[in-house]
Amino acid sequence: MTLQTETTDQQSAAHGFDNDNRQAATIGDAARDYVNRLRGGDMGSLPAILGLVVLFGVFASLNDQFLTTYNMANLVVQAGSICVLAMGLVFVLLLGEIDLSAGVAGGAAATITALMLIDYDWTWWLATLAGIAVGAVIGTVIGSLVALLGIPSFVVTLAFFLALQAVPLKLIGSGGSLRFNDEVLRGLSIKNVPVTAGWIAAVLIVAGFAALSLWRYRSRASRGLVHQPLALVVIQIVVLAAIVLGLTALLSTNRAPNPAVFNISGIPWVAPVVIALLLFWTFVLTRTRFGRHLYAVGGNAEAARRAGINVTRIKIAAFVIASSMAAVSGLLAASYTGKVSPGSGGGNELLYAVGAAVIGGTSLFGGRGRAIDAVVGGLVIATIPNGLGLLNQASYINFLVTGGVLLLAASVDAVSRRRRSAAGV
């Protein structure tokens, strides 16, 4: 099999049902094609989506507060940092590598940002850039050690996991904390987009997606290239519109506990941040040379090297992206808690993020995954403690359920990989 064929297969798997590289004359043909791919082990985010539906159904039936607009807004905020961290880890997992230091890297970056805000009176955007730069430097060092020296990523990132915990401990001190009360950064978790602006953004997203989908269909059809049936394109547009506009309508209502006294409405600011990152990294993975090379290296590094791809540079770039996204995740986590402490990023953040990526459909074996996997998986991970918290369940129940879901996702990944191998994919 040539590298070009491998890369095409990897991209096909990465796109899931929204795949441009298969010919389907009718919706029935597209449905049969999808079923065949499911049988061949190409499940994508389907298990995570089904799991999310089940979790919503169970928690909604057990507690009538779960589906309230107030709790749905809380769920979006709680899932934000997990989704962002998982998005960064997708790039490393696509190479079949791991980054155990991502959580504490985010904590170190948030500490630097907080210090720049408090001690040096920097503006929020300069302090944010400083934090992200810290993440990028960490990723560069890790990627260089892995790609240039050939040290296993597990060993390198484990060492950084231990070492980076010293950064906030040294700068803050044992038992101390730094307030993360910048109006803009703190507002990512406690403030909402104005309702009118939220509706404008929602309409623009739907209109942009519709225009891009129809343009792509017409372009490929006019050139005689394989394409999806028009009816399927329209269905995808309608489904996205229903989800985006429905959520916007839900979160635009007043969800204050006492609506007669004050008003809480609008989409939490963390949601546009996650959506913007999702759109950007999806474009990078699916529409750029770097994305194609990343899938190629993850599928077969030696074949990619022989084809002229700079494997070393791709690996370093993947770790830089992962650590930079970890920095953004650390800032969102600090925004949610309102502070940075020596333990920031050192808890279960990394485990939840890895679990989110895997649950969403990213393969632990490399070569298969999408940015959307991290978001879907992050919602699953965040839904579990959110729902159990409303049911007043003990903390150990949360760990048991989350661990069980992750184990199930890893099992599905292993079984899918075996079926793909049997099918010759």
CB-based contact 202:245 (threshold 8 Å) = yes
Does 186 have pLDDT greater than 70?
A: yes
Q: What is the pLDDT of residue 425?
A: 54
pLDDT of 21: 43
Contact indicator for 319, 88 with CB cutoff of 8 Å: no
Mean of pLDDT values over 142-155: 96
User: What integer pLDDT is reported at residue 139 of this predicted model?
Assistant: 97
Give me the long-range contacts of 23-30 (CB less than 8 A, separation at least 24).
23/226, 23/227, 24/228, 24/229, 24/232, 25/229, 26/229, 26/231, 27/229, 27/231, 27/232, 27/235, 29/229, 30/228, 30/229, 30/232
Distance, in Å, from the CA atom of 110 to the CA atom of 342, rounded to the nearest integer, reads: 11
pLDDT of residue 422: 65
- C-alpha distances in angstroms, 344 versus 169, 325, 335? 10, 15, 12
pTM value surpassing 0.85? yes
pLDDT of residue 12: 43
What pLDDT is stored for residue 19 in this prediction?
42
Contact present, 295 and 11 (Cβ < 8 Å): yes
pLDDT the model gives residue 411: 78
Q: Check residue 374 and give its pLDDT.
A: 94
CATH number of 49-178+272-422: 1.10.3470
Q: Cα–chain-centroid distance for residue 178?
A: 27
Phi/psi for 424 (5° steps) reads 80, 20
Q: Is residue 309 very low, low, confident or very high in pLDDT (cuts 50, 70, 90)? A: very high
d(CA 228, CA 21): 9
Higher-confidence residue of 115 and 6: namely 115
Q: Which residue has the higher pLDDT, 398 or 251?
A: 251
pLDDT at 121 over 50: yes
Tokens 């989409």 identify what position?
267
**Selection from 360, 348, 376, 352 nearest residue 413 by Cα:** 360
Give the mean model confidence (pLDDT) for residues 170-191: 91
Pick the residue with more confidence: 344 or 12? 344
393-404 pLDDT tens trace:
887 888 888 888
Residue 238 reports pLDDT greater than 60: yes
Residue 191 has a pLDDT of 94
How would residue 406 be classed by pLDDT, with cut points 50, 70 and 90? confident
Residue 417 has pLDDT above 60, yes or no: yes
Three-class secondary structure of residue 176 per DSSP: coil
Categorize the per-residue pLDDT at 11 as very low, low, confident or very high, splitting at 50, 70 and 90: very low
pLDDT at 29: 74
Share of the chain above pLDDT 70, in %: 92
- Residue with the bigger pLDDT between 77 and 399: it is 77
Between 263 and 138, where is the model more confident?
Answer: 138
| For the ranges 30-44, 197-211, 250-264, 334-348, the one whose mean pLDDT is highest | 197-211
What digits encode the pLDDT tens for the residues 88-119?
Answer: 999 999 999 999 999 999 999 999 999 999 99
Sign (positive or negative) of CA dihedral 163, 164, 168, 170 = positive
Q: How confident is the model at residue 423 (pLDDT cuts 50, 70, 90)?
A: low
- CB 378, CB 290: distance < 8 Å: no
- Of 87-101, 161-175, 301-315, 355-369, the range with the lowest mean pLDDT is 355-369
Higher pLDDT, 410 or 213: 213
